[in-house]
Structure 1
């Protein structure tokens, strides 16, 4: 999908080569046939070297203009940090929120369960406001 949005033939070629490499890793054929173990040489342009603070390293590489309020919307566009668990996503989000210098906004809400839901087979007892607020879900 990313290849379709790239205008530069050079960039499209680089992305195609990288996606083929990733597919070969996933298919277990990178570096030739193997017996389940293989040493994979990572391209230097995909390796982030830890400077002592891994979250800072990730944020600076993926969002280089994050601290520039004028460039913030451009910085966040078409970029993403992938993570294995929601706990890691929360950790990255909290780190970035601490760095964020923009003015915060307060959004008020009211938590409650609809009266029509409370009459349907006791689901209000099972799905209390506290229970629903406890859940962590990705968007």
Structure 2
């Protein structure tokens, strides 16, 4: 998909080569025959140097103009930080929100359970408000949502 949006043939060639390299890792080809473990040498141009806080290093590399309001939309365009778990997404989001020192507002989800036939048989005890407030699901906002004026919000599927 990324190849479709590339303007120069040089960049398209580099992306195609990188995509083939990533696919070869997934196919188990990189590093030769192995018994489930292999050493993969990463190209130096995709490795970030860790000069302190790794999260700060990642955010500054991916979003170099994040705190510059004039360049913010260009900074966010076609860039993302991938994470394997929602807990990591929360940590990254909290870090990025903390970079903006302006006053924020916390919004809470609706926290009551409607009475229905299913709540009469005891499922209220199983699905308590505390339990529901602690659920974290992809595509659903957390119970607590911190918003600040000017801070970008993405609602992806």
Q: Specify the TM-score bucket, using the shorter chain as the normaliser.
A: 0.7 to 0.9
Aligned structure 1 segments of 4 or more residues deviating by more than 6 angstroms: none
Q: Which structure would you say has the larger RCO, counting Cα contacts within 8 Å and 6 or more residues apart?
A: 2
| Number of the residue aligned with 2:49 | 49
**2:130 is the counterpart of 1:114:** no
Q: Alpha carbon RMSD of aligned pairs, Å?
A: 2.4
Q: Please identify which structure carries the higher strand content.
A: 2
- Deviation (angstroms), 1:111: 2.0
**Equivalent residue number for residue 69 of structure 1:** 69
Superposition TM-score, scaled by structure 2 size: 0.74
Q: Secondary structure at the match of 1:71?
A: helix
CA distance in 1, matches of 2:74, 2:101: 16
Deviations 1:17-51 (CA, angstroms, capped at 9, x unpaired): 00100111111111433454433221111100001
* Alpha carbons of structure 1 residues 105 and 31: separation in structure 2 relative to 1, 3 Å: same
Query: Once structures 1 and 2 are overlaid, which stretch shifts more, 111-120 or 92-101?
Result: 111-120
1:14 to partner: Cα distance? 1.0
- Larger displacement relative to structure 2 (70-79 or 43-52): 70-79
Stretch of structure 1 that moved more, 118-127 or 50-59: 118-127
Rounded Cα–Cα distance in structure 2 between residues aligned with 1:90 and 1:109: 16
How many residues align structurally?
Answer: 139
Q: TM-score, normalised by structure 1?
A: 0.82
| Stretches of structure 1 lacking an aligned partner (at least 5 in a row) | none
Stretch moving more, 57-66 or 117-126 = 117-126
For structure 2, which runs of at least 5 residues remain unmatched after alignment? 140-157
Q: 1:123 to 1:112 in 2, by over 3 A?
A: same
1:95: which partner in 2? 95
Question: Contact 1:69–1:102 (CA<8 Å) still a contact in 2?
Answer: no
| Alpha-carbon separation, structure 1, partners of 2:124 and 2:35 | 54
